[in-house]
Structure 1
Amino acid sequence: MIDAAERLLRDGKADFSMRDLASEAGVSFATPFNQFGSKAAIMHTLSTRRIDTMEIRFAAAPTLVDTAARVMLAIDTAAAVMLEEPAINRAVMGWIGTASSSPGQVWARSTALWTLALGAGEGLMPARRDQALRCLPGQLAFAFRGVLSFWTAGELPDKALAPNARDLACTMLLGFTEERPSRDPGL
């Protein structure tokens, strides 16, 4: 069902109906409703799939010791996933703010990605490390989602997605690092 939704989006049919989805998936009209309840729930699942891809790619990247460098790598990874299929990902992101019959896992999965990026907090000020590890995953999730919302709306060009997310992350890390975090992609 999710693969069928992606195919419809890939074909430029962001306004697909549940009937269209059922037809594309080769299932009865009721199946998408029975499995997901709404199109919003399907889009939330697609978003979770993207976050899972980000996490897998980040985990497979070369290990960096410094927390700030890992956060920048996670941003670059996340932006790269979104930019692989921008039309599909803009359509998915456009649905994330809509109500669904059941809560999605977008918040939990996004926070998990940033928790992974922060690791054990190497390079953070020891006196503030615990606080950073408690608050930064959620704040980074909010920040990246905020940048994505402007990108989704077409107000932020593709090439500005990662740099703007990096700027936000650097600002957030300032209070927790002894050195100014670098937004340089070459970390």
Structure 2
Amino acid sequence: MTDDKPGKISRGEPVRQRVLDAAERLLRDGRATYSMRDLATEAGVSFVTPFNQFGGKAAIMHALSARRIDAMIARFEAAPAPRDLMARVRLAVELAVAVMLEQPEVNRAVMSWIGTAGPSPGQVLAHSTALWALATQVEEAPSSGDRSRDVAELSVQLALGFRGVLSFWTAGEIADEELALAAQAIAATLVAGFSDPQHGGNRRKQ
């Protein structure tokens, strides 16, 4: 792809945000199958700009997913977080579900693209894990290396579990009003397994 046409806005973060904002508007209008030309027109940029900035539609949808995760993280950081692990995870689930249900149809459209490969490997899992890493940061006595690894593993498992619930929600198998309950249930199961004194030992012996 070539650079943007003369007279158009220049490359950079403001341009990326302009393209993402346009994608959000198209999704809110029910145009999940929008073309890159539709997107460029909506954003008021040249046809090549979305390609130059993102490479393709999959990467744009991944970036929209990142916006959702950023919102979840920001809300968790702004909330009075409990000190108890299970309570912190419940709060993270509550806030994450609230973000997804604010624009359910838009977010279903975004989620439907998460499994689509972009021009480069996605970072959704790593980004989502950052949210759950915050939720599992509990003040306690200095822990062993094994305990720290278990906490890191729990964060990844929570990210995978929440993604799994969202996948069924995206497919219409979990209703909006059931999303919080399903997400809380899988999170509680994962935390219970982590909190079991036998958890670490059993896992390491496998």
TM-score relative to the length of structure 2: 0.81
Deviation of residue 140 (structure 1)?
0.5
Gaps of 5+ in 2: 1-18, 198-206
Runs of 4+ with deviation above 6 angstroms: 125-128
- The amino acid of 1:166's aligned partner reads Q
Question: Which structure is higher in RCO with an 8 Å CA cutoff and minimum separation 6?
Answer: 1
- Rg: which structure is higher? 2
Query: What is the total number of aligned residue pairs between the two structures?
Result: 178
Q: Deviations over 1:62-112 (max 9, x none)?
A: 121001100010001000000000000000000000010022321111000
- The amino acid of 2:50's aligned partner reads P
1:27 corresponds in structure 2 to 45
Mapped contact 1:71–1:117 kept (Cα < 8 A): yes
2:168 corresponds in structure 1 to 150
Distance 1:128 1:103 in 2: 29
Distance 1:61 1:44 in 2: 26
Mapped contact 1:151–1:161 kept (Cα < 8 A): yes
Equivalent residue runs for 1:1-187 within 5 Å = 1-120=19-138, 122=140, 129-177=147-195
Gaps of 5+ in 1: 180-187
Distance 2:169 2:196 in 1: 31
- The amino acid of 1:162's aligned partner reads A
Corresponding residue SS for 1:48: helix
Mapped contact 1:74–1:117 kept (Cα < 8 A): yes
Distance 1:127 1:170 in 2: 24
- The amino acid of 1:167's aligned partner reads A
Corresponding residue SS for 2:179: helix
- The amino acid of 1:153's aligned partner reads A
